[in-house]
């Protein structure tokens, strides 16, 4: 039986290097705030409780943490006095918890649950503490893991406190730590702030543990996995690393990406095998695509369900609440929002379908739009099965078009249309014969007194 697990996510830092009005841990990678990546890992690991340590006066971080972890999953560290002090701040929220704790970071979105799982496994097997190390291409700024002859960690030395020899070590501390609660808090009570930064370093528990007879083991991860975001450049790096991972996963799962590097996924994009995605497609959060669908170039899709064998784009925009059944065709410059489209619906060019229910096989002509908003409220449009909406029809909602009905091109439809009827709502055409010829003749005479 595995021991009970808890997670503490450190997120009390200021994030000043982001130069942003938005708190650092709320900046998104793959469409999800950094903090929620860590919260998700903690959840996948079945950690309970899961506690975020946040700074004072950060209402937005607090709201995000509460939404993800519940009110009991938020602890405030005030003032921030180092990573050891931050972990201590979560003590009360741990309540009566006994078992292993994983310390995660609110600004490190790429850590895999499997990696922390390996750390729990090492702890179960060998006891003591487990830190996550990595071999840094450039170790500047990181704490160094100083190993003993048996490959265990003797201590962690922060860059600012390291000797030249210690700085030459490339094996660095990611910060992620797994330890037993009782052991960890006992060691934390012994940490002092007698160091270069005058902070309480969590990393000191390693050396202190050794003196108390608890050894520290190291699990190694790829550097990309432990990347912490401190600046916009690192945010972009983390995004790139996430995208690379998502593209590889899609290909592995049987999705064709014609030019993988130009397709952008969100953290929760779900794509079934045998979907083809053409170049330059962006998936915002909340998208699922069923098998056999094709997403053509330059489409932007968010919050949408795309049915099997549907064809989207090129240049299509699907917005939240777009739900497309099987074999739906959405062509160029068509926008769909909060609408249900039945099987085989076609909107091939230049249309806006918002707040609508569209029956199977309906055909929406070029330039047709739902007029769903009156400046105050949104209204629904109901289009029956096998309806033909003529080009440039304006459907002024709320309005219902019965099954099998037609609307004539250019109509402004303000009243319901009966099934199988044709609704015509446009000015009658009249003709003035020879008018154009006379007009041209009048215009071709030299203008009197006008400017040249």
Residue numbers annotated as active site: 349
Q: What is the pattern of x (binds ligand UD1, CB under 6 A) and - over residues 211-250?
A: -----------------x----------------------
What does the alpha-carbon distance between residue 36 and residue 64 come to, in Å, rounded to a whole number? Answer: 8
> Binders of ligand UD1: how many residues, by CB under 6 A?
27
What does the alpha-carbon distance between residue 187 and residue 171 come to, in Å, rounded to a whole number? Answer: 23
Tokens of residue 282, six digits: 């962006």
Say how far residue 132 (Cα) sits from the centre of its chain.
25
117 binds, among Ca ion, ligand UD1, none (CB under 5 to 8 A by kind): none
- What's the min distance (Å) between Cβ of 203 and ligand UD1? 4
> Binders of Ca ion: how many residues, by CB under 5 A?
1
- What's the min distance (Å) between Cβ of 234 and Ca ion? 10
Q: Which of these, 109, 165, 111, 159, lies nearest to 139 by C-alpha position?
A: 159
Does residue 39 interact with ligand UD1 by CB under 6 A?
Answer: no
- Minimum CB distance to ligand UD1 smaller for 54 or for 345: 54
Does residue 111 interact with ligand UD1 by CB under 6 A?
Answer: no
201 binds, among Ca ion, ligand UD1, none (CB under 5 to 8 A by kind): ligand UD1
Judged by CB under 6 A, the residue of 10, 68, 275, 360 near ligand UD1 is: 10
- Minimum CB distance to ligand UD1 smaller for 176 or for 387: 176
Peptide bond into 314 cis (omega under 30): yes
Does residue 105 interact with ligand UD1 by CB under 6 A?
Answer: yes
Tokens of residue 6, six digits: 């808890």
Q: What is 146-197 written as a DSSP string?
A: EE-TTS-EEEEE-GGG--HHHHT--EEEEEEEEEEHHHHHHHHTT----STT
Does residue 386 interact with ligand UD1 by CB under 6 A?
Answer: no
156 binds, among Ca ion, ligand UD1, none (CB under 5 to 8 A by kind): ligand UD1
Tokens of residue 115, six digits: 């990696």
Burial classification of residue 398, based on how many CB atoms lie within 10 Å of its CB (0-12 exposed, 13-18 middle, 19 or more buried): middle
Q: What is the pattern of x (binds ligand UD1, CB under 6 A) and - over residues 40-79?
A: -------------x-----------------------x--
Burial classification of residue 32, based on how many CB atoms lie within 10 Å of its CB (0-12 exposed, 13-18 middle, 19 or more buried): middle
Confirm if 407 and 388 have CB atoms less than 8 A apart: yes
Q: Which of these, 220, 6, 216, 221, lies nearest to 126 by C-alpha position?
A: 216
Tokens of residue 403, six digits: 């099954």
What does the alpha-carbon distance between residue 130 and residue 102 come to, in Å, rounded to a whole number? Answer: 9
- Minimum CB distance to ligand UD1 smaller for 22 or for 258: 22
- Minimum CB distance to Ca ion smaller for 183 or for 221: 221
Does residue 142 interact with ligand UD1 by CB under 6 A?
Answer: yes
What does the alpha-carbon distance between residue 99 and residue 335 come to, in Å, rounded to a whole number? Answer: 52
- What's the min distance (Å) between Cβ of 122 and Ca ion? 24
Does residue 411 interact with ligand UD1 by CB under 6 A?
Answer: no
Tokens of residue 364, six digits: 């929406």
Confirm if 105 and 175 have CB atoms less than 8 A apart: yes
How far lies 239's CA from each of 6, 15, 32, 264, in Å? 27, 17, 11, 10
Q: Which of residues 58-87 bind Ca ion (CB under 5 A)?
A: none
- Minimum CB distance to ligand UD1 smaller for 35 or for 341: 35
Confirm if 384 and 362 have CB atoms less than 8 A apart: yes
363 binds, among ligand UD1, Ca ion, none (CB under 5 to 8 A by kind): none
Chain residue whose CB lies nearest ligand UD1: 143
Q: Which of residues 228-267 bind Ca ion (CB under 5 A)?
A: 228
Confirm if 93 and 69 have CB atoms less than 8 A apart: no
- Minimum CB distance to ligand UD1 smaller for 24 or for 317: 24
Q: What is the pattern of x (binds ligand UD1, CB under 6 A) and - over residues 161-200?
A: -----------xxxx-------------------------
Does residue 33 interact with ligand UD1 by CB under 6 A?
Answer: no
- Minimum CB distance to ligand UD1 smaller for 23 or for 313: 23
Q: What is the pattern of x (binds ligand UD1, CB under 6 A) and - over residues 148-167?
A: --------x-x---------
Count CB-CB contacts under 10 A for residue 315: 17
Does residue 80 interact with ligand UD1 by CB under 6 A?
Answer: yes
- What's the min distance (Å) between Cβ of 27 and ligand UD1? 13
Count CB-CB contacts under 10 A for residue 447: 8
Q: Please, what's the b/e burial string for 107-132 (b: 16 or more CB within 10 A of its CB; e: otherwise)?
A: bbbbbebebbbbbbebbeeeebbbbb
- Minimum CB distance to Ca ion smaller for 141 or for 320: 141
Residues that bind ligand UD1 (CB under 6 A): 10-13, 53, 77, 80-83, 85-86, 105-107, 142-143, 156, 158, 172-175, 201-203, 228
Residues that bind Ca ion (CB under 5 A): 228
């Amino acid at each position: 039986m595995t021991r009970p697990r808890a997670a503490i996510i450190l997120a009390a830092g200021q994030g000043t290097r982001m130069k942003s009005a938005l708190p650092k841990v709320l900046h998104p990678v793959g469409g999800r705030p950094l903090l929620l990546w860590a919260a998700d890992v903690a959840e996948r690991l079945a950690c309970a409780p899961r506690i975020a340590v946040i700074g004072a006066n950060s209402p937005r971080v607090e709201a995000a943490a509460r939404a993800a972890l519940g009110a009991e999953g938020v602890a405030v560290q005030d003032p921030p006095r180092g990573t050891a002090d931050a972990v201590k701040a979560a003590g009360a929220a741990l309540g009566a918890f006994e078992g292993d704790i994983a310390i995660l970071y609110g600004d490190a979105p790429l850590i895999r649950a499997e990696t922390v799982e390996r750390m729990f496994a090492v702890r179960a097997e060998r006891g003591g503490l487990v830190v996550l190390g990595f071999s840094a291409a450039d170790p500047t700024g990181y704490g160094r893991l100083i190993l003993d002859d048996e490959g265990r960690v003797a201590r962690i030395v922060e860059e600012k406190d390291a000797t030249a020899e210690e700085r030459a070590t490339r094996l660095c501390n990611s910060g992620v730590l797994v330890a037993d609660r009782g052991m960890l808090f006992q060691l934390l009570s012994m940490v002092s702030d007698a160091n270069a930064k005058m902070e309480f370093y969590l990393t000191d528990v390693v050396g202190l543990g050794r003196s108390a007879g608890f050894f520290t083991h190291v699990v190694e991860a790829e550097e990309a996995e432990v990347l912490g975001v401190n600046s916009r450049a690192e945010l972009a790096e983390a995004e790139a690393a996430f995208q690379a991972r998502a593209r590889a996963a899609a290909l592995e799962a049987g999705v064709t990406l014609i030019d993988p590097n130009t397709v952008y996924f969100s953290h929760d994009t779900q794509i079934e095998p045998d979907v083809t995605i053409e170049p330059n497609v962006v998936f915002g959060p909340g998208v699922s695509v069923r098998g056999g669908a094709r997403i053509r170039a330059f489409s932007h899709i968010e919050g949408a369900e795309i049915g099997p064998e549907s064809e989207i784009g090129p240049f299509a925009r699907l917005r939240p609440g777009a739900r497309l059944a099987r074999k739906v065709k959405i062509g160029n410059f068509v926008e769909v929002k909060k609408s249900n489209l039945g099987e085989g619906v076609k909107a091939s060019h230049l249309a806006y379908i918002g707040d609508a229910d569209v029956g199977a096989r309906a055909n929406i002509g070029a330039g047709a739009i739902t007029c769903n908003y009156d400046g105050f409220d949104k209204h629904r449009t109901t289009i029956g099965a096998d309806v033909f909406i003529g080009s440039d029809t304006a459907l002024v909602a709320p309005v219902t078009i019965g099954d099998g009905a037609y609307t004539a091109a250019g109509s402004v439809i303000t009243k319901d249309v009966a099934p199988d009827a044709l609704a015509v709502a446009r000015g009658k055409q009249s003709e003035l014969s020879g008018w154009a010829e006379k007009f041209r003749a009048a215009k071709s005479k030299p203008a009197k007194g006008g400017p040249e």
